[in-house]
Amino acid sequence: MLGRMTSDLWPAPFHPDPIVHTQVVPGSKSMTNRAYVLAALANRQSTIIGALHSRDTDLMRAALSDMGVVFTEEAERITVTPGELVGATVDCGLAGTVMRFVPAAAAFAEGPVLIDGDAQARTRPLTTVLDALRHLGVSVDGDSLPFTVNGTGHAPGGRVEIDASSSSQFVSALLLAGARFDRGLTVVHTGGRLPSMPHIEMTVDMIRDAGVKVDVKQNEWTVHPGPISGKIWVIEPDLSNATPFLAAAAVTGGTVSSIPYWPQKTTQAGDVIRLILERMGCEVDIVADGPSYTLTVTGPPRGQLQGITLDMSDIGELTPTVAALATQATQTSMLTGISHLRGHETDRLAALSQEINKLGGKCEELPDGLRITPAPLHGGVWHSYADHRMATAGAIIGLTTEGVQVEDIGTTSKTLPGFAAMWTGMVHG
């Protein structure tokens, strides 16, 4: 059995009738943690508005705080006061952004930064970013959790070639700290297809918003040395966390679900859910509402959700949601380009295949994806593997499959605290 299991079982609410609901989604984890790192490395105070409070973002905030950054919170605003970074012991939990972003920032601490995390985190790939830091003149002891970055307050920087085909976070981790290197930083990706490009685009946009010059070529990024400006960061809603609620509209047939405050322009991968749902037979309307949009999804009549063939290399984080949708479709779905998901919180391809099949579904694991053929599902235990998106996928299936019990629904606190209450509130109105 993959991953960590607990005896905590949550009866997923069953609701085969149409759901009508409006859901406000908290801020983006990806944007919050990038803003935290940039604010910690900045030349003056920053203010962050609408930051997400979740396990992953709390771990990032705690890590930077232990390294000497001061966070002051009042209502929706967090003031971040940077200073001289110091040595510390950091708990990264199971957060990929913390275990990969913090080491580059730690290069500029005065003293050693020891980084460790959950037992399951020790299997996640890290050598790419740690070897890159060594090449850039940073002393690092160890190749996996726990490891120590021996910060000296500065590092030479320069050009580094890496294979980031297993995670775009390796590129983002280096770029976020790039301006602090003496010579700046050029990162060249030399491996196969780079996954999750929208996350790198988000990183580049945010670095530029902080007043840093960034040059971008095919598989090459150059961050020029110079100050990172403190600024006001306004965090968008987390569009990936919105996707389970939109999926509820799709699977319950004829249901309308609305998500207010959808951004007009975004680099978040979750925005692509609009196109996916349209291809699967939903009606998707997006209407301007002041500085943002309101997104409304109307699912097709029950039993008419369409299968989909989709390259998800740029949007791998949506795979659990789309796989749950595919179990409800009337045709076979092919989700490809996602072999990198084997290195996420768990091996998501193996986990999805195993859990879908245990409930009577037909999911075949492919070298780089999943083939899901519709089949009648039945109740049973859906394991989460300490993976927040696995847990929400089980909740989606539970809407139309009576008797689904999601193990460890609390793991959703990683990015969306209170998910279970939000979901129950949606179902029961």
3 state SS for 288-344: EECCEEEEEEECCCCCCCCCCEEECCCCHHHHHHHHHHHCCCCCCEEEECCHHHHHC
If DSSP states are collapsed to H, E and C, what string results for 138-207?
Answer: CEEECCCCCEEEEEECCCCCEEEEECCCCCCHHHHHHHHHHHHCCCCEEEEECCCCCCCHHHHHHHHHHH
328 among annotated binding-site residues: no
**In the prediction, which pLDDT does 261 show?**
85
Is there a contact between 390 and 408 (Cβ–Cβ < 8 Å)?
no
d(CA 311, CA 292): 28
Tell me if 46 is assigned to a ligand binding site. no
| Strand segments (E) across 243-396 | 256-263, 283-289, 292-298, 309-311, 333-336, 362-366, 369-373, 380-382
- Residue carrying structure tokens 């109307």: 298
CA–CA dist 66, 88 (Å, integer): 6
Helix (H) or strand (E) holding 103: helix 96-106
The CATH code that applies to domain 29-234 is 3.65.10.10
What six digits make up the tokens of 259?
């998500």
- Is 217 known to sit in a ligand binding site? no
Find out whether 146 and 115 touch, Cβ atoms under 8 Å.
yes
> Angle at the Cα of 99 (from 94 to 103), degrees rounded to 5?
165
**Was 414 annotated as part of a binding site?**
yes
Alpha helices by DSSP H, 359-412: 388-400
* 348 annotated as ligand-binding: yes
Choose among 380, 376, 312, 306: nearest CA to 349. Answer: 312
Asked whether the CA dihedral 81, 86, 88, 92 is positive or negative, the reply is: positive
Q: How far apart are CA 198 and CA 239, in angstroms?
A: 13
pLDDT at 7: 54
Is 278 assigned a catalytic role? no
Rounded distance between C-alpha atoms, residue 159 and residue 182, angstroms:
12
Task: Name the pTM for this structure.
Answer: 0.89
Nearest to 262 by CA among 244, 232, 238: 238
Give me the count of residues in the chain: 429
CA dihedral 412, 390, 196, 103 (to 10 degrees): 50
Query: Is 353 among the annotated ligand-binding positions?
Result: no
Write the CB contacts of 290 (distance below 8 Å, at least 6 apart in sequence): none
Q: Is 167 annotated as a binding residue?
A: yes
Joined together, the tokens standing for residue 407 give 């193990």
185-189 and 158-162 as β-strands: parallel, antiparallel, unpaired? parallel
What distance in Å separates the CA atoms of residue 289 and residue 295, rounded to the nearest whole number? 10
Cβ contact 306:331 at 8 Å: yes
196 annotated as a binding-site residue: yes
Q: Could you tell me the fold of the domain covering 9-26+237-428?
A: UDP-n-acetylglucosamine1-carboxyvinyl-transferase; Chain (3.65.10)
In order of 31, 237, 371, 403, the CA distances from 267 in angstroms are 10, 12, 28, 37
Report d(CA 308, CA 328) in Å as an integer: 11
Here the tokens at position 103 are 């080491």
Residue appearing with tokens 């009648």: 376
User: What is the full per-residue pLDDT of the chain (429 aa) written as tens digits?
Assistant: 344 444 589 999 999 899 899 998 999 999 999 999 999 999 999 999 999 999 999 999 999 999 999 999 998 899 999 999 999 999 999 999 999 999 999 999 999 999 999 998 898 889 999 999 999 999 999 999 999 999 999 999 999 999 999 999 999 999 999 999 999 999 999 998 899 899 999 999 999 999 999 999 999 999 999 999 999 999 999 999 999 999 999 999 866 567 788 988 899 999 999 999 999 999 999 988 777 788 999 999 988 999 999 999 999 999 999 999 999 999 999 999 999 898 777 899 999 999 999 999 999 999 999 999 999 999 999 999 999 999 999 999 999 999 999 999 999 998 899 999 999 999 987
Q: Where in the chain is the domain with CATH 3.65.10.10?
A: 9-26+237-428, 29-234
CA-to-CA separations, 333 to 55, 273, 324, 364, in angstroms, rounded:
33, 15, 11, 11
- According to DSSP, the residues that pair with 91 across neighbouring strands are 116
Q: Are the CB atoms for 184 and 175 separated by under 8 Å?
A: no
Strand 147-152 versus strand 139-141 pairing type: antiparallel
Q: Which of 236, 317, 345, 407 is catalytic?
A: 317
Confidence at residue 255, expressed as pLDDT on a 0 to 100 scale: 65
pLDDT for 6: 47
Is residue 30 marked as binding?
A: yes
